[in-house]
A = this chain, B = another copy of it.
Amino acid sequence: MKACLLWLVVLIQSFSTMSAYARGTGDLGVIIERASSSIQIIETTGNSSIGRVNGLGDLSHASIVYSRDARFAYIFGRDGGLSKVDILDAKITARNLQSGNSIGGAISQDGQLIAVSNYKPGGVKIFDAETLGLIADIPATYGADMQRSKVVGLVDAPGQQFVFSLWDAAEIWIVDMTDTAGPAIKKFKNIGLNPYDALITPDGRYYIAGLYGEDGMALLDLWNTDQGVKRILADYGKNEQRLPVYKMPHLEGWAIAGNLAFVPAVGRHEVLVINTDNWQQAGKIAVKGQPIFVMARPDGRQVWVNFALPDNSSIQIIDTQNLTIIKELKPGKAVLHMEFEPRGEEIWLSVRDENRIEVYDTRSFKRKASLSAEKPSGIFLTSRAHRIGL
């Protein structure tokens, strides 16, 4: 009888732990801790840390997409490691070292496919979201001698499509995975030299690649692909002397407010404003340094900007109605990434060199919480599960 009671106690304890996992996943998120190959799992209702997962390889420049049930995070490591983590259970459930050097990924509209963009060997691989087993291997070959290009700016688009750019080949490709056994590939050539990153508008209609090798950006209207790729902002910065670029800006953190889009200017202390009705430049805003991420609060009223060295301890906030800077924050050394909560009341910032994550109220600009983290970089909340292109 004593043994019986002991069993019961052990059983109750173990099941109690299990039942603790039963919680909503809508307010969860993951923070990349790149120096320690780990992620931290957080929740945004009480602004607290609820778990950590180790053993995720090289997480420099790592990014994340979420399963459609907001339970699993797919983590794209720089070393080509693709990991699937159960964030309720804080465990790796699958892992695939799928290439030697990788730069981000995307999840298909239906949630069944995970695509990874690779530098080496250059191309895109597509995996089963359940098992991480390979479904399609799409080498990014170009030219007469079939060289392989680095792939950048990979996003998902409606209709089971993935869209990406070829850095070395000056091309944009669309892959339609409706038939997983026979991916349909559409290629757009001579889109501009060295596309370095890309964004897709929140509705999934316009794909825009930033160009490092020449002025302007490459715009593809996915509703009208027969019109080909157009150059926009071609005259921007023409004949001006370029500043040395300390860090390439990111475009995946698009910022669209009403009919204005805000993008970082490469190597300039400026945020460009584009009218999305005609894709003409509508203005530019002088900022403190070279912008890296330019992100709109979900209601579009504010745009938050972080910077490359030597200005990476500051954040500037733009009012999108009058295009002025209304606030500057100094969260600490090396503010690498920002993520708004889905309805915009708070924002999470990673302050890498101070090993902290900060949470701010976006109306009062007051700090609401501060959490310890190991060299934090990217922050990704589960609400991304429900967004096109994120």
Using CB atoms and an 8 Å cutoff, list the residues of chain A in contact with chain B.
1, 4, 7-8, 11-12, 15, 18-19, 21-28, 43-45, 66-72, 88-89, 109-111, 158-160, 203-205, 223, 257-259, 277, 298-301, 321, 342-345, 363, 382-383, 385-388
Contacts and interface: CB of A to CB of B under 8 A. Distances in A.
B25 A69 contact: yes
Contacts of A300: 203, 205
Nearest to A21: B22
A297 to B, nearest CB: 8
A289 B315 CA distance: 52
B301 A24 contact: no
A204 B299 contact: yes
A53 to B, nearest CB: 16
B203 A388 contact: no
A308 to B, nearest CB: 29
B26 A385 contact: yes
Contact of A69 (B24, B158, B259): B24
Contacts of A277: 259, 277
A159 B24 contact: no
Contacts of A386: 26, 342-343, 383, 386
A357 B15 CA distance: 36
Contacts of A66: 26
A158 B320 CA distance: 15
A88 B71 CA distance: 14
B345 A110 contact: yes
A302 B19 CA distance: 42
Contact of A298 (B18, B69, B388): B388
- Which of A7, A44, A298 has the most B CB atoms < 10 Å from its CB? A298
B88 A68 contact: no
A300 to B, nearest CB: 5
A343 B388 contact: yes
Contacts of A43: 69
